[in-house]
């Protein structure tokens, strides 16, 4: 017998190797290997769950779920001595049928509640074929009377200025959860990527789309969701990595130019700031990381920059850039202890505090996490705290 190209003995050995201990019932084995890492992959019906194989010599009995697993599949085709006389037939890995007509489903019974958020895409720049993805709490569309204005979050995705989009699963899922929890309207923006469109193209697009969004403040813009639901007295800018860098520069520009909106805050998440010279003694030690980061910027992101990694767009902390004109009332700076950009992020917060800017600065640090862990490692125990702080910043 084989499963997706794997012999029963191979799977059994994997199970024995990956899990054992007091939590496991006798003669029962749990498969804890990442399914996507196996070649060939396991059958899709078994993906994203623990698979339980029970020794054929034992009567069938309800197994204990493995620790930290919320759902699992119980696979029983290995039994040839089922104890119950009520069983008519088994159809693994799908179901069992009993004499009284009862059907026991072995898989596919997990459910996901409706998240209460709707989304849609709108083109804002036909010239460059650029769009935004809007996220709106469904209940906002059901309000006939009363105040249905919501905090407006403008989000700039990361990806080293080279990859990423508002339409990728990680950003769609992240902003869906933010909107669901914060009860806000979010606009996730697309911008041109390098190397086809070197910096500052993405910055120009970001400023252009911010102006386009804020043009709805008179209630006659092209997007009905923004006209009806955006509170232009409660606008937040946010972004991660390259997007965090860009969110800073958009806030600086907002402080210099008159906007028909009130930008309450800017969330700068794991920002990609850099410079030719290290700003901390620990940065000196990691020469290889410094070389790689500088090479990406100089060779791919901004090859035409005469300053290289000291380009004012990239070197915000170690340069003489003035932060006092930041055009918002408060800033959240999020950093991760294992991130190569951590000291740049912390340095940014300190520089902002000393700049003469009159707003409030808050730093959120997760010492044991890496760059953008909330997106790349969403199962981390630290993600709920990160999300709570981010939502609190937007709603406070």
CATH number for the domain including 384? Answer: 3.40.50.1820
Active site residue 270: no
Are 176 and 53 part of one and the same domain? no
Q: How far apart are CA 27 and CA 20, in angstroms?
A: 10
Residue where a domain stops, chosen among 105, 140, 158: 105
Q: How far apart are CA 147 and CA 126, in angstroms?
A: 33
Q: What is the pLDDT of residue 36?
A: 39
Six-digit token pair at 144? 């006939």
Q: How far apart are CA 33 and CA 141, in angstroms?
A: 43
Are 134 and 24 part of one and the same domain? no
Q: Is the residue at 112 inside a domain?
A: no
- E strand or H helix at 251, and its extent? helix 242-256
Q: Is the residue at 198 inside a domain?
A: yes
Are 311 and 190 part of one and the same domain? yes
Q: What is the pLDDT of residue 74?
A: 38
Say how far residue 44 (Cα) sits from the centre of its chain. 24
Q: Is the residue at 256 inside a domain?
A: yes
Instruction: For residue 53, give every residue at least 6 positions away whose Cβ sits within 8 Å of its Cβ, in sequence order, or none.
Output: 11, 12, 15, 28, 29, 31, 75, 78
DSSP-derived pairing of the beta strands 72-75 and 50-54: parallel
Are 246 and 282 part of one and the same domain? yes
pLDDT in tens, the chain (396 residues): 444 444 444 444 444 333 333 333 343 333 333 333 444 444 333 333 333 333 333 333 333 333 333 333 333 333 433 345 689 999 998 889 999 999 999 988 877 677 899 999 999 999 999 999 999 999 998 875 657 899 999 999 999 999 999 999 999 999 999 999 999 999 999 999 999 999 999 999 999 999 999 999 999 999 999 999 999 999 999 999 999 999 999 999 999 998 989 999 999 999 999 999 887 766 656 788 889 999 999 999 999 999 999 999 999 998 889 999 999 999 999 999 999 999 999 999 999 999 999 999 999 999 999 999 999 999 999 999 999 999 999 999
Q: Is the residue at 276 inside a domain?
A: yes
Are 95 and 127 part of one and the same domain? no
Active site residue 241: yes
Q: What is the pLDDT of residue 314?
A: 97
Please pick, among 188, 217, 339, 374, the residue that the annotation labels catalytic: 339
The count of domains in the chain is: 2
The total number of residues shown for the chain amounts to 396
Q: Is 379 exposed, middle or buried (0-12, 13-18, 19+ CB in 10 A)?
A: exposed
Q: Is the residue at 111 inside a domain?
A: no
CB 158 within 8 A of CB 170: no
Residue where a domain stops, chosen among 105, 139, 161: 105
Q: How far apart are CA 25 and CA 391, in angstroms?
A: 42
In angstroms, the Cα distances linking 244 to 212, 216, 316 are 20, 24, 12
Please pick, among 206, 241, 302, 305, the residue that the annotation labels catalytic: 241
Q: How far apart are CA 59 and CA 84, in angstroms?
A: 9
CB 145 within 8 A of CB 202: no
Are 137 and 86 part of one and the same domain? no
Domain limits for position 85: 2-105
Q: What is the pLDDT of residue 146?
A: 58
Are 53 and 156 part of one and the same domain? no
Are 375 and 319 part of one and the same domain? yes
Are 212 and 75 part of one and the same domain? no
Are 264 and 375 part of one and the same domain? yes
Are 128 and 237 part of one and the same domain? yes
Q: Is the residue at 284 inside a domain?
A: yes
Q: How far apart are CA 25 and CA 331, in angstroms?
A: 52
- E strand or H helix at 116, and its extent? none
Residue where a domain stops, chosen among 105, 137, 169: 105
CB 192 within 8 A of CB 232: no
Are 83 and 187 part of one and the same domain? no
* Whether pTM exceeds 0.85: no
Q: Is the residue at 281 inside a domain?
A: yes
Q: How far apart are CA 274 and CA 290, in angstroms?
A: 9
In angstroms, the Cα distances linking 142 to 146, 147, 152 are 11, 12, 18
Instruction: For residue 252, give every residue at least 6 positions away whose Cβ sits within 8 Å of its Cβ, in sequence order, or none.
Output: 323, 325, 326, 327
Active site residue 280: no
CB 273 within 8 A of CB 341: yes
Q: What is the pLDDT of residue 278?
A: 80
């Amino acid at each position: 017998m084989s499963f997706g190209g794997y012999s029963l003995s191979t799977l059994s050995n994997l199970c024995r190797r990956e899990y054992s201990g007091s939590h496991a019932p006798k003669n029962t084995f749990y498969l804890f290997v990442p399914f996507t890492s196996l070649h060939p992959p396991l059958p899709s019906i078994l993906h994203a769950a623990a698979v339980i194989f029970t020794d054929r010599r034992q009567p069938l009995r309800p197994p204990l779920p493995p620790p930290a697993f919320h759902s699992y599949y119980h696979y029983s085709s290995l039994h040839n001595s089922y104890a119950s006389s009520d069983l008519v037939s088994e159809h693994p890995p799908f179901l069992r049928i009993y004499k009284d007509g009862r059907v026991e489903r072995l898989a596919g019974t997990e459910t996901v509640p409706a998240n209460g958020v709707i989304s849609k895409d709108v083109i804002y720049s036909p010239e460059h074929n650029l769009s935004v993805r809007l996220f709106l709490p469904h209940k906002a569309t059901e309000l006939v009377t009363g105040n249905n204005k919501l905090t407006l979050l403008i989000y700039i995705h990361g990806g080293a200025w080279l990859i990423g989009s508002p339409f990728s699963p990680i950003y769609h899922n992240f902003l869906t959860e933010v909107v669901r929890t914060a009860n806000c309207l979010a606009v996730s923006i697309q911008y041109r990527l390098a190397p086809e469109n070197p910096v500052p193209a993405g910055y120009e697009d970001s400023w252009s789309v911010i102006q386009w969004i804020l043009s709805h403040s008179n209630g006659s813009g092209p997007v009905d969701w923004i006209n009806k639901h955006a509170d232009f007295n409660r606008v937040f800018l946010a972004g991660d990595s390259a997007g965090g860098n860009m969110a800073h520069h958009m806030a600086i520009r907002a402080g210099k130019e008159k906007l028909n909106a009130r930008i309450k805050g800017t969330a700068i998440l794991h920002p990609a700031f850099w410079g030719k010279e290290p700003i901390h003694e620990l940065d000196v030690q990691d020469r290889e990381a410094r070389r790689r980061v500088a090479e990406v910027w100089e060779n791919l992101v901004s090859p035409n920059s005469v300053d290289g990694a000291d380009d004012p767009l990239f070197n915000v902390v170690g340069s003489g850039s003035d932060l006092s004109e930041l055009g918002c009332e408060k800033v959240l700076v999020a950093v991760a202890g294992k991130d190569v950009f951590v000291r740049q992020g912390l340095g940014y917060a300190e520089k902002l505090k000393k700049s003469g800017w009159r707003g409030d600065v808050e730093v959120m640090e997760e010492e044991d996490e890496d760059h953008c862990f909330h997106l790349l490692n969403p199962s981390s125990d630290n993600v709920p705290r990160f999300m709570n702080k981010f939502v609190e910043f937007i709603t406070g």
